A and B are shown apart, each in its own frame.
Chain A
Amino acid sequence: MQNFIQISLVSLQIGAVYILFSLGLTLIFGVMKIINFAHGQVFTLSAIIVAVMLPMLTGWGWSPPVAFAASAVVALLSSVSLGFVMFQYGFRFYQRNLVGSFILSLGFVLLLEGIYLDVFGGQVRSIPPLITGTVDVFGAPMTTQRLVLCVAAIVFTLILYFALAKTRTGKALRAASIDHEAAMLQGIPYERIALQGFLIAALLAGVAGILIAPTSAVTTTIGTDYLLKGFIAVIIGGLGSVPGAIVGSLFVAFIEGFGGFYFDPSGASIAVFVLVMVVLVVRPKGLMGNV
């Protein structure tokens, strides 16, 4: 039982990060009908900025929470700026062009990965824990830091979910992703919505990067692993579907968590892949897809 709760909580934390990540992918696909492989690089940028800045700032004598907050702000600003650059000088010209945009995003992946390697170097960075101590959750010990990150990720996911459901921009985004022509007929400025959707997605990837940096070893290629999981999550849930991305991410995280504990991590990755194949056989458009 103790194991069960512990694994569930860890899976929930990882799952929440996957949700933030795959929501970005599904938003971009929904609104612009493109697949952005470079989404992982936005996430990497944010994670690596936190991993580089935090030890530097604490080295200057800043207190850890302040240093974390400062590096998080820088990381978010950088990811959104990167998103803006990619949209403005690339994807803007390739909306609704699946193959062209896909190839362009691969170009961005290689370019950014090379630049990160040049700038940050290839070493693995891990941050010392910000918050020490453990707490008991239903009798299962859990590091406080992990619990805080878990709560933070869930809170961000909920905020986003309600923002998409209730706010004007959220409604416009969802309208454009269901049928962009009908949305334009209703007076929704598609071009602006596409940019907003892309920037929100970059912001989400940035948040996911910040939340993952304290708990895992950060390298310049960390984005690729999450990209794979994020894509599997959106295939399972259905491209362009927000609830689908959430369900798919939790699916992947829990299979990984429990499979990794009872079998081994790579066995869990293969199990996740088999699950995707099964979903594709039964429902070719994902569990909640309509594209």
Chain B
Amino acid sequence: MSNRRKFLLPLAIVAVLLIAMFPTGPYAASLISWMAIGALMASSMRFVLLFGELNFAVAAFVGIGAYTAGMATTEYQIVFPLAILLAGLAAAFVSFFFGFITLKVKGPYFKLIGFAFAEVVRICYSQSDTLGGNSGIIGVFPPLALDPWMTFFVVSFAVVILLGLYAVERSDFGKLLLAIKENDDVVRTVGINVHWIKILCFVLASFVAGLAGSLQAFVNNVISPADFGFMLSVFALAYLKVGGEDSPLGPVAGSIVLVGLGSIALTFGAGEHIFYGAAIALAVLFFPKGMIGFAKDTVGKWRDRGATNTTAVAATQKGEA
């Protein structure tokens, strides 16, 4: 199993990067970038879910990242890589203060305060004249030399970040997060400061959300407050739920499928909202573990039946990756 996975994962990454290198048109290029950005946002949300809290403020941090990158590029002419880094740092900085106060509360209170924060931050953008008010910031372009490579850059950047998050999740720190999710009192009794661990995890996740926001600003070239309302958090949650939250591949799969299907739904003229709403409701009601969980269960059932047809199993695994 683990041998095959070691072989499959780099193969999948190379395949994705190859696809990203040769998009068939500008729309396809944007679509691939949106999938990668969606995967980053959903993974940021999943990372906070590791210690058991649903982070609804993720839209606020994506927005802060996008606005930081936008301001840095259009107002201050800061170079592209630095602008992206600044976006992540700004989101992490704000999330530290927000997390310090709100991570003392748990469950429903944390969700609701995140929802409120996302909306309040959105109001702040639309009221600020320096940030362009309701019309936002236009002309956030990546450097000219990078333009033909933008999709490739976004996808490979996302892959690197996701691998980084996966490494953290597999580390001792990640195990600590799972322990907090299971029973935070036990973690406290061995002398670990649960509050600070949560803050660290939250800040790291928000850093990723900020990076995702900066990529979105550079891909779309235009940002406005309406892009970063709490609906963005809902979309991230949809990717996470439909893909499956138990696996790090879940947010990626969910983002690819939903962004892809969503773009098709738009061409039918069907409402985007109805589509996403139905996708979430159906996924929760019928596939509570998401696509990845469903695929794993199906593969498990085949094994139990004693099927030794390994090629079929490998084929489904390739399909799920």
A-B contact pairs, 28 of them (CB 8 A): A98-B107, A99-B54, A100-B284, A102-B111, A103-B237, A103-B280, A104-B284, A108-B277, A110-B273, A110-B280, A111-B274, A111-B278, A113-B273, A114-B273, A117-B271, A117-B273, A118-B271, A231-B115, A232-B112, A232-B116, A235-B116, A239-B108, A266-B126, A269-B123, A270-B123, A277-B101, A280-B104, A284-B105
Q: With contacts A103-B241, A117-B273, A285-B109 known, is A270 near B284, CB below 8 A? A: no
CB distance from A47 to the nearest CB of B (A): 18
Contact present for B123 and A107 (CB under 8 Å): no
- With a cutoff of 8 Å between Cβ atoms, the chain B residues found around residue A280 in the complex are 101-102, 104-105, 109, 113
Contact present for B112 and A235 (CB under 8 Å): yes
Q: Please measure, in the bound complex, the distance between the C-alpha atom of A224 and the C-alpha atom of B122, giving whole angstroms.
A: 13
* Range of interface residues on A (Cβ < 8 Å): 35 or more
| Extra A-B contacts (11), CB below 8 Å, given A102-B111, A235-B116 | A103-B241, A104-B280, A107-B276, A114-B271, A114-B272, A114-B274, A234-B112, A235-B112, A269-B120, A270-B120, A277-B101
Contact present for A228 and B109 (CB under 8 Å): no
Closest to A111 in B: B277
Q: Does A109 contact B (CB under 8 A)?
A: yes
Q: Please measure, in the bound complex, the distance between the C-alpha atom of A285 and the C-alpha atom of B280, giving whole angstroms.
A: 30
Residues of A contacting B: mostly: helix
Q: Does B285 contact A (CB under 8 A)?
A: yes
Q: Does A66 contact B (CB under 8 A)?
A: no
Contact present for A104 and B112 (CB under 8 Å): no
* Range of interface residues on B (Cβ < 8 Å): 35 or more
Q: Does A62 contact B (CB under 8 A)?
A: no
Contact present for B281 and A107 (CB under 8 Å): yes
Q: With contacts A231-B116, A277-B101 known, is A107 near B108, CB below 8 A? A: no
**B281 is contacted by which of A111, A115, A264, A277 (Cβ under 8 Å)?**
A111
Q: Please measure, in the bound complex, the distance between the C-alpha atom of A99 and the C-alpha atom of B45, giving whole angstroms.
A: 13
Q: Does A29 contact B (CB under 8 A)?
A: yes
Q: Please measure, in the bound complex, the distance between the C-alpha atom of A107 and the C-alpha atom of B279, giving whole angstroms.
A: 7
Q: Please measure, in the bound complex, the distance between the C-alpha atom of A118 and the C-alpha atom of B272, giving whole angstroms.
A: 11
Q: Does A140 contact B (CB under 8 A)?
A: no
- With a cutoff of 8 Å between Cβ atoms, the chain B residues found around residue A112 in the complex are 277
Query: B interface vs A, CB < 8 Å?
Result: 54, 101-102, 104-105, 107-109, 111-113, 115-117, 119-120, 123-124, 126-127, 230, 234, 237-238, 241, 271-282, 284-285, 288
Q: Does A35 contact B (CB under 8 A)?
A: yes
Considering only residues 266-291 of chain A, those with a C-beta below 8 Å from chain B are 266-267, 269-270, 273, 276-277, 280-281, 284-286, 291
Closest to B128 in A: A266
CB distance from B182 to the nearest CB of A (A): 15
Contact present for A109 and B234 (CB under 8 Å): yes
Q: Does A90 contact B (CB under 8 A)?
A: yes
Q: With contacts A107-B278, A239-B109 known, is A270 near B104, CB below 8 A? A: no
Closest to B54 in A: A99
CB distance from B273 to the nearest CB of A (A): 3
Q: Does A106 contact B (CB under 8 A)?
A: yes
Q: Does A93 contact B (CB under 8 A)?
A: yes
Contact present for A270 and B124 (CB under 8 Å): yes
CB distance from A199 to the nearest CB of B (A): 20
- With a cutoff of 8 Å between Cβ atoms, the chain A residues found around residue B113 in the complex are 235, 276-277, 280
CB distance from A168 to the nearest CB of B (A): 28
Q: Please measure, in the bound complex, the distance between the C-alpha atom of A267 and the C-alpha atom of B123, giving whole angstroms.
A: 9
- With a cutoff of 8 Å between Cβ atoms, the chain A residues found around residue B123 in the complex are 266, 269-270
CB distance from A121 to the nearest CB of B (A): 12
- With a cutoff of 8 Å between Cβ atoms, the chain A residues found around residue B237 in the complex are 103, 106
Max chain B Cβ within 10 angstroms of own Cβ: one of A110, A228, A270 = A110
- With a cutoff of 8 Å between Cβ atoms, the chain A residues found around residue B108 in the complex are 29, 35, 98, 239, 291
Q: Please measure, in the bound complex, the distance between the C-alpha atom of A36 and the C-alpha atom of B120, giving whole angstroms.
A: 20
Task: Give A237-280 as 1s and 0s: 1 = Cβ < 8 Å from B's Cβ atoms.
Answer: 00100000000000000000000000010110110010011001
CB distance from A170 to the nearest CB of B (A): 23
- With a cutoff of 8 Å between Cβ atoms, the chain B residues found around residue A224 in the complex are 230
Q: Please measure, in the bound complex, the distance between the C-alpha atom of A232 and the C-alpha atom of B116, giving whole angstroms.
A: 7
Closest to A29 in B: B108
Closest to B119 in A: A228
The 6 closest A-B pairs by CB, nearest first: A110-B277, A111-B277, A114-B274, A107-B281, A114-B273, A107-B280
Max chain B Cβ within 10 angstroms of own Cβ: one of A106, A109, A114, A270 = A106
